Structure 1
């Protein structure tokens, strides 16, 4: 299936949000609180005439999607890009074309396509600085054999999701990463 067909198959933003069962309130909170800077908005002006669209591979249970999706939506709004969502687990044929490190079905993945349906750029699942934050946190966990591993891992992910929900610095890091990817393509 070509990218135009995948885009056509996707859900509208509202349908995706309406169907969310996990992280819905948190995602909407980020969407409400996050704003692009005037400089970011200006940098996106040049994309308006390109008629770009976005296929967002996502799942509502994913903390990274909770963080990145509302930021993508603000960017898409500023650049006049229509976004359609596809659930990763129901669209593995497409997902498997965008594996992280060639092996992982990590999400979200954003596929930016032009008016003809050709890939313009893709981004995901994390901004590099956020990936480094996650890697540092994982490195601080005890060995998997340690009786405290599971408890410490749950605490780490809970803290991480909370920072995704509230840390404007992380939001800016993500927005800069996505904007850089699509404005330099």
Structure 2
């Protein structure tokens, strides 16, 4: 971990609770994060806050993942790049936070994409600043151990399929994405993080 990331974690990062509190405060002022303060982005943020709170009420981490995490004997930093207006982040970041909370050796921190462009540009997806992104570091050595995101592979495959269809609708794509998250009930997120944890144990 270099100085840029270390400084962002120490000076500009949030716990999950702080992230929610910050979002609520901005919305109370009629604002959201980032340079785009349009009414559309503020509405996205309001909707995402509802989504995040809903996931909090219905969270259920599978037993295999709990057992794997509980026996993980490494001091880790889970750094997530996110923004409250991002629909994928609203469905994923709460799950990552609850997973990380299982093991007290995991320090879960969130930084905002648009406040940290130099960091974001190290973790592009097909050349784009897609979020959320989870980057896992060894807390002691600072070594980067894993990167995950911006969404589960099955969903990404479906998005790619839709985007390859001539004349596809952005609105329909957004509906498809949210329906997928609702029906999947965080199963693929948990499954992929479980695979990531197993790899960490083997390395």
TM bracket, shorter-chain basis: 0.7 to 0.9
For residues 148-177 of structure 1, what are the alpha-carbon distances to aligned partners after superposition, in whole Å with 9 as ceiling and x for unaligned? x5xx3213313422442x22x251101111
1:94 to 95, 107, 119: 119
* 1:46 corresponding residue in structure 2: 71
1:120 maps to 2:145:
yes
For residues 83-114 of structure 1, what are the alpha-carbon distances to aligned partners after superposition, in whole Å with 9 as ceiling and x for unaligned? 1111001101111111112x111110111111
1:11 maps to 2:28:
no
Pairwise mapping of residues 76-95 of structure 1 onto structure 2 (< 5 A)?
76-80=100-104, 81-95=106-120
Moved over 4 A (4+): none
* 1:71 corresponding residue in structure 2: 95
Q: Is the 8 A contact 1:6 1:55 kept in 2?
A: no
- Distance in 1, Cα, partners of 2:8 & 2:102: 23
Equivalent pairs counted in the alignment come to 173
Q: Is the 8 A contact 1:95 1:105 kept in 2?
A: yes
Pairwise mapping of residues 106-185 of structure 1 onto structure 2 (< 5 A)?
106-116=130-140, 117-140=142-165, 142-143=166-167, 152-164=169-181, 166-167=182-183, 169-185=184-200
Q: Is the 8 A contact 2:155 2:180 kept in 1?
A: no
- Distance in 1, Cα, partners of 2:125 & 2:78: 18
Give the root-mean-square deviation of aligned CA atoms: 1.8
- Distance in 2, Cα, partners of 1:100 & 1:153: 19
Pairwise mapping of residues 25-64 of structure 1 onto structure 2 (< 5 A)?
25-47=50-72, 49-64=73-88
- Distance in 2, Cα, partners of 1:138 & 1:34: 31
* 1:146 corresponding residue in structure 2: none
Higher relative contact order (CA 8 A, sep 6+): 1
- 1:128–1:163 distance in 2 versus 1, CA, 3 Å: closer
5+ residue gaps in structure 1? Answer: 144-148
For residues 62-83 of structure 1, what are the alpha-carbon distances to aligned partners after superposition, in whole Å with 9 as ceiling and x for unaligned? 1110111011012101133221
For residues 35-60 of structure 1, what are the alpha-carbon distances to aligned partners after superposition, in whole Å with 9 as ceiling and x for unaligned? 1111111111222x311121110011
For residues 101-158 of structure 1, what are the alpha-carbon distances to aligned partners after superposition, in whole Å with 9 as ceiling and x for unaligned? 2x11111011111122221211111111121122233334x42xxxxx5xx3213313
